[in-house]
Amino acid sequence: MQIIDTAIRDVKVFEPRVFGDQRGYFLETFRRDLFERSVGVVDFVQDNESKSHYGVLRGLHYQKPPYTQGKLVRVVWGEVLDVAVDIRKGSPTFGRHVAVRLDADSKRMLWVPRGFAHGFVVLSEEAVFAYKCDNYYAPEADAGIRWNDPALGIDWLVDRTKIEVSEKDAKQPLFAEVEGVCLTSDE
């Protein structure tokens, strides 16, 4: 598995080796020793999956402390643009984002560490999106940032008139209204 750095040091792309022949393919989607060498010790406790059609944008979501989550995300079917926004107080990359295309063909995965808001938009006709989380979903800690905040400058690669968001995501606060997540060693 190849580990690729992004513009934000803690956000990583994992590119697995895919072994294929006329029967199909095989790959490792997660291997603890390689993962921990790159990002540290992580204990995944929950797996999630969603299916969406072209233009559906989910995000930008995060959980407030002490329920922050790190996520290893991948596309099982289709293609998405995946975005991670640094909301860690005091971080040198606070307010910056990484955007990575993920698709079922390349099988690339993105590590979104704790302290990042996360979202994706579907670029293909449909997409099945899966992710491993290192903390349980806690509804009382659910939070977000508005997907189209000009201060973030995210190019979602989809015409804004074709983007479809939930009512909740349409009403999320702007980045300037978010206090940021303060991460400590015990989170």
Q: Who contacts 75 (Cβ-Cβ below 8 Å, separation ≥6)?
A: 102, 103, 104, 127, 128, 129, 130
Pairing of strands 109-112, 71-77: antiparallel
Of the listed 54, 131, 136, 137, which one is catalytic?
131
Which positions ≥6 away from 165 have C-beta within 8 Å? 56, 57, 58, 147
Catalytic residue among 54, 61, 67, 137: 61
Q: Is 131 a catalytic residue?
A: yes
To the query of whether residue 25 is one of the catalytic residues in this protein, the response is: no
Catalytic residues: 61, 131
